Amino acid sequence: MATSGATILKIFCTFMLFNSDLAVKTFSKKEIRHNRDRVSRMFHYAYDGYMKYAYPYDELQPLTCDGHDTWGKYSLTLIDALDTLAIMGNYSEFRKVADLVIKNANFDVDMNVSVFETNIRIVGGLVSAHLMSKKAGIELEDGWPCSGPLLNLAENVARRLLPAFQTKTGMPYGTVNFRYGVPKGETTVTSTAGVGTFIVEFGALSKLTGDPVFLDTALRALKALWNTKSILGLVGNHIDVATGKWTALDAGIGGQVDSYFEYLVKGAILFKIPELMTMFKGYDIAIEKYLKRDDWYMWAHMTKGTISLPIFQSLDGYWPGLQSLIGDIEKGMKTILNYHQVWRQYGALPEFYSITKGEAHATREGYPLRPEMIESAMYLYQATKDPLLLQLGVDVLESIEQVTKTSCGYATIKNVRDHTLDNRMESFFLAETTKYLYLLFDHDNFIHNTGGHGDVINTPNGECIINAGGYVFNTEAHPIDPAALYCCSAEKKEQDKLLQEMHDEMDLLELLELTDSAALEKDKDKRSMEDRLRDIIGAYGFDDDYANFDDDEDVLDGADLVDDEEENINDEAEDIDATLNLYNKIVKNVKSDQIFKFKIQDGNFQTVTIDKLKTDDAVTDSPLNDNSNKNGDSVGSKDLDNEKAEEKRKQDGSIDKKHTAIDTSAIKQGVTIDDLKSKITKIIEDAKIVSPKESETPTSAIKPDADTSTIVNSNSKQAQSNPFQDISSLMSDMLQQLKKLSERDKTREMPEIFTCPAQPFHSRFSVGGEMFFEE
């Protein structure tokens, strides 16, 4: 079969491409560190030039060594470069500049600014710097990372951008005035990227400040764009934000569109919004079908799918890195090798490169020190560790150093053919180009943390872990820590609440089938009856002799129970567990053949008499015995004077019958202390008593009817003639607590679904977000 000349040429070019790549050497650790340090010197040389010759203007003019304002009048380069200082470890300069920005920044000015550029450079730069403040050693205010001066500035700027989004479609105007909103007569046509590049910065602000308006605004704009896509699944590059109609129909991945696709992926990762990843996958299918030709991505008509511009833009350079984030590593590597060959051809990437002609486009042959290809190299190297990507970094470093360096900075290449220079150094050179190049060679940088370590901080929202990796860069290379966003979010508060409720309800030993919960409760009660008595003696002021009463004594002396110098038992017994132990302490020394009577009136449980009787004389139909019915209704309730009194007592002070067999009706029968002990133990087990912080103490005792009774005030320290006054008070406390507990149990509901909070995203880029994909 004959082979065409074009096919032979293609095979030859492919062979030469990969043969040259295979010749790339491996790099030692020493060489990698050397290149990292070269990048650091490059950054600081340009940064120092800006501070010396251009500050407080927006940018440095590196050929004339002076400054000029470009996107605003807010010292753009200073804010854009702030987090790069932290990433390169220059914390002292970071602190100095942060203080400078906080003191001097003023956005309440009558000035028109680009909504897009101000968001990615100023808002993004301020949010990122705010999140790096702790690492840089800045003294933090209470509430950080959910508050702070840099965050306040970012929020201030973002609020001044919000008026641009007040359109019928929710898509923003391209320009806004910091003081007066959208300028009169402002065009309604905006680029696709200008509509869809807000969710990273605005979403971060919503999480940090608690105000959902920013995230909601960005999401509305993203969804509006999605709803305007063509039947082929493509979008154009300019749209009318008033009508939602496309005004430029060329579809591509580069300039005017690029960061829209980028923010669908990063928004899905950063804020766990699967819908955004679904949108991107829809676009990706259409892009692969209509725009891709032999590992190049061209421009096509959004409704017809026909190629309209067979060119590569330097802004396309971000795409291989984005492919790495969704797991398309092989595709990303093939594409970036094409871009690298263009760099080798000119020592730079022209703004436009004709794929069909294999040369820079005649009218767009400049290179303004863009970072996109280096950004992709950094991402892909983290995924593959392929030394080809380090060689790419070295080639970029050598070209910039040798071709663009001036006496005070680095200049834009005006024409890649002859390397003539232009008098501009854009702020993104310090914000992005040098940062990504540095991170390509600095393999131990904290940005590359894969979750093996982090910083634990205490905040008003509780304990948080930050700086654990998984940073998401905005399109201006400002990294956002997802853990810090989660720390301040409403989701954390809700999930902490669910965790606490689950913790309160969970019996871990029973869950692991290591023990029987019922047996465990019995063992606990047994210990309370025996082993823990002496703990209670010291806590409540009892004398040790109390535990050694003479069994022959008929009546206990109240002076032995409560010392006049001690505090009121009812005041001390706020903890129900301690109260039960105190009860056990008392009843342990009462003979089993002693009988006592008690009543409940107005919700208070009262002991009213003590009799010296034999055990076999005990009345067996007491409601504390097993004769009570299954619903907990007292058999003795028939002795009430009338049903209205009973009903009133139930409403005023009764406990939930679900948890106890004790009724709130008057109890006229006697009961042995052994019987009482067994019944109370059962009540405790059934009610699953915990230790409430507050208990209601009965106020007064009722007057007994029998001559053998003694009037007792349950709050009094005097118990001279009735040692059971303490039991009376304790029983009343228990009844009140049981009522509270039963009411609480009725209203408590376990969550139907329990979800663990997503911790910082790390090492997920290699699997590319499959977690969001739907079958």
Strand, coil or helix: what is 765?
Answer: coil
Query: CA-to-CA distance for 381 and 265, rounded, in angstroms?
Result: 19
Query: CA-to-CA distance for 716 and 725, rounded, in angstroms?
Result: 9
Alpha helices in 595-717 (DSSP H): 643-653, 673-687
Nearest to 58 by CA among 103, 138, 108, 125: 125
Query: CA-to-CA distance for 459 and 659, rounded, in angstroms?
Result: 40
Strand, coil or helix: what is 459?
Answer: strand
Strand, coil or helix: what is 378?
Answer: helix
Strand pairing report for 594-601 and 59-61: unpaired
Q: Considering Cα of 225, then 227, then 228, then 230, what sign does the dihedral take?
A: positive
475 assigned ligand-binding residue? yes
| Residues found in the chain | 775
**What are phi and psi for residue 354, nearest 5 degrees?**
-75, 115
- Within 10 Å of residue 520's Cβ, how many Cβ atoms? 14
Provide the annotated active-site residues: 117, 258, 351, 372
Diameter of the chain measured on Cα atoms: 126
**518, amino acid identity:** A
Per the rule left: phi > 0, alpha: psi between -120 and 50, beta: everything else, 463 is beta
Query: CA-to-CA distance for 726 and 720, rounded, in angstroms?
Result: 11
Alpha helices in 639-724 (DSSP H): 643-653, 673-687
**What are phi and psi for residue 285, nearest 5 degrees?**
-60, -45
Question: Which tokens belong to 564?
Answer: 């006049």
Strand pairing report for 671-672 and 604-612: unpaired
Which residue ranges are tagged as binding site for Ca(2+)?
475
- From the annotation, which residues make up the binding site? 475
